């Protein structure tokens, strides 16, 4: 099975994660997919294949170097797709030799992937693209990464003239809900360092990510008959709205880029009696990140000064910037850059405006930068992946294995 066929097969599995189930994996479809992959890896003849009860699948391509010790390098991708849009009954198609015009994804529903709205499409003119039918996401995040890793390992097995050390691969659940690394057994994985194949467009190489936290702000009101509510009613929704507008207007995702952090309101649920706001807090700089959390707590105190006891907040850190763990080992970034150049790819070293499992794994003792998997417009109906980008990602994995194998 070639890389494209492998990817098209993988996206058929419905593996959306769900943060409300409190299980690992959070949805049964992820385990179904993991078992399928385990069986394929067994057919390929990989060693040390394990699949635990939490849906963490690991395997080894043994070293073919016998005269010296070579570091063990890992490659990781996640099984789940985003809960932001349906991943059930994904129906991809290939747009051959893309000509730069709008792509009709679903004529009946009037859904069009247009370069006017997504100008990055024009970067891939003349290439074959895999797109959705407009009713689901595609799942290149991160089934492209899985397909690339499996295909690269297969290629190395078919080309024993490429000398490489031990290669460890892992596919984990629940990255999209921030839990992918929580039960990842770093010691059992046994790699000296690893790469997540979970980035976006071709060339991306990332070892800086947001520091991240979530905040749940609860407002409690008092409901009485609106005709007799004067000086009695406390409408929690109105107080929540007051809180929302107290935060800096321009420090939101739609107004920030690069290293700029933000507060992002992701959910509002409310009645007169109770309203709950859910935020995510992001910043690359650790000090600014801590100040952002303190600002939310300060605003809660201000609300409570006006409406005593009305407001409470719960803040939970999610992950931290991996840079502090990767920077002392910059040779692993140098290796990835050199691998890209050998594969004919221009490296684009940039911060992640998000997070990967690699961020948490880096703090668990496994330095783990992020490499492009090739997809764009993740988490929605306009997601697409250029086939040449997937091919290049696979080649980068092969070249990393070759470079590490050359190390003395």
Q: Return the structure tokens found at 25.
A: 């994996």
Catalytic-labelled residue, pool 142, 175, 206, 283: 175
Pick from 129, 130, 165, 171: nearest CA to 150 = 171
Q: Which of left, alpha, beta for 344 (phi over 0: left; psi -120 to 50: alpha)?
A: left
**Residue 151 phi, psi dihedral angles, 5° rounding:** -65, -40
Report helix angle 140-158 to 3-10, nearest 10: 140
Instruction: Report the run of H or E that residue 305 belongs to, with start and end.
Output: helix 286-306
Count the neighbouring beta carbons within 10 Å of the beta carbon of residue 50. 14
DSSP state of 209: B
Strands (E) located in 97-140 = 103-106, 111-113, 129-131
Active-site hit among 80, 154, 206, 357: 80
Helix (H/G/I), strand (E/B), else coil: 261 = coil
Residue 271, classified by CB atoms within 10 Å of its CB into exposed (0-12), middle (13-18) or buried (19+), is exposed
Residue 95 CA neighbour count, 13 Å, CB half: 22
Q: Write out the two tokens for 191.
A: 């790699």
Is-contact 87 136, C-beta < 8 A? Answer: yes
Block residue for tokens 């993988």: 10
DSSP-derived letter for residue 376 is: B
Do residues 198 and 141 make contact, with C-beta atoms less than 8 angstroms apart? yes
- List 317's β-bridge partners, or say none: 213
Catalytic (active site) residue 324? no
Our answer to whether residue 175 is catalytic in this structure is: yes
Structure token digits, residue 295: 């600002």
Active site residue ranges: 80, 175
């Amino acid at each position: 099975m070639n890389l494209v066929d492998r990817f098209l097969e993988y996206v058929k599995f419905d593996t959306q994660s769900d943060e409300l189930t409190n299980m690992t994996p959070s949805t049964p479809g992820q385990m179904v997919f993991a078992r399928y992959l385990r069986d394929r890896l067994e057919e390929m003849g990989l060693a040390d294949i394990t699949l635990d009860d939490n849906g963490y699948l690991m395997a080894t391509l043994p070293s073919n170097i016998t005269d010296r010790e070579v570091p063990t390098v890992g490659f990781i991708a996640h099984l789940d797709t985003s809960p932001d849009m349906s991943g059930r009954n994904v129906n991809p198609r290939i747009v051959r030799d893309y000509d730069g015009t709008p792509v009709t994804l679903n004529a009946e529903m009037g859904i069009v992937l247009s370069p006017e709205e997504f100008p990055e499409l024009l970067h891939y003119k003349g290439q074959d693209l895999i797109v959705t039918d407009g009713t689901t996401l595609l799942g290149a995040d991160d089934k492209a990464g899985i397909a690339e890793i499996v295909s690269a390992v297969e290629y190395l097995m078919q080309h024993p003239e490429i000398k490489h050390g031990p290669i460890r691969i892992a596919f984990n659940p629940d990255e999209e809900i921030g839990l992918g690394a929580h039960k990842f057994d770093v010691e059992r994985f046994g790699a000296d360092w690893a790469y997540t194949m979970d980035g976006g467009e071709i060339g991306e190489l990332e070892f800086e990510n947001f520091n991240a936290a979530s905040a749940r702000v609860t407002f409690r009101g008092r409901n009485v008959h609106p005709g007799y509510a004067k000086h009695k009613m406390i409408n929690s929704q109105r107080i929540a709205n007051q809180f929302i507008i107290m935060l800096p207007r321009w420090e939101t995702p739609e107004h920030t880029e690069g290293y700029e952090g933000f507060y992002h309101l992701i959910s509002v649920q409310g009645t007169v009696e109770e309203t709950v706001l859910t935020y995510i807090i992001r910043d690359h700089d650790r000090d600014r990140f801590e100040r952002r959390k303190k600002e939310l707590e300060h605003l809660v105190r201000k609300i409570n000064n006006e409406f005593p006891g009305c407001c409470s907040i719960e803040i939970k850190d999610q992950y931290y910037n991996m840079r502090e763990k990767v920077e002392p080992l910059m040779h692993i970034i140098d290796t990835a850059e050199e691998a890209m150049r050998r594969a004919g790819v221009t490296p684009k070293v940039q911060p992640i405006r998000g997070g990967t499992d690699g961020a948490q794994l880096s703090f668990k003792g496994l330095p783990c930068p992020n490499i492009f998997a090739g997809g764009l417009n993740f988490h929605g109906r306009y997601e697409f992946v250029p086939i040449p980008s997937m091919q290049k990602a696979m080649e980068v994995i092969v070249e990393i294995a070759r470079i590490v194998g050359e190390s003395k």
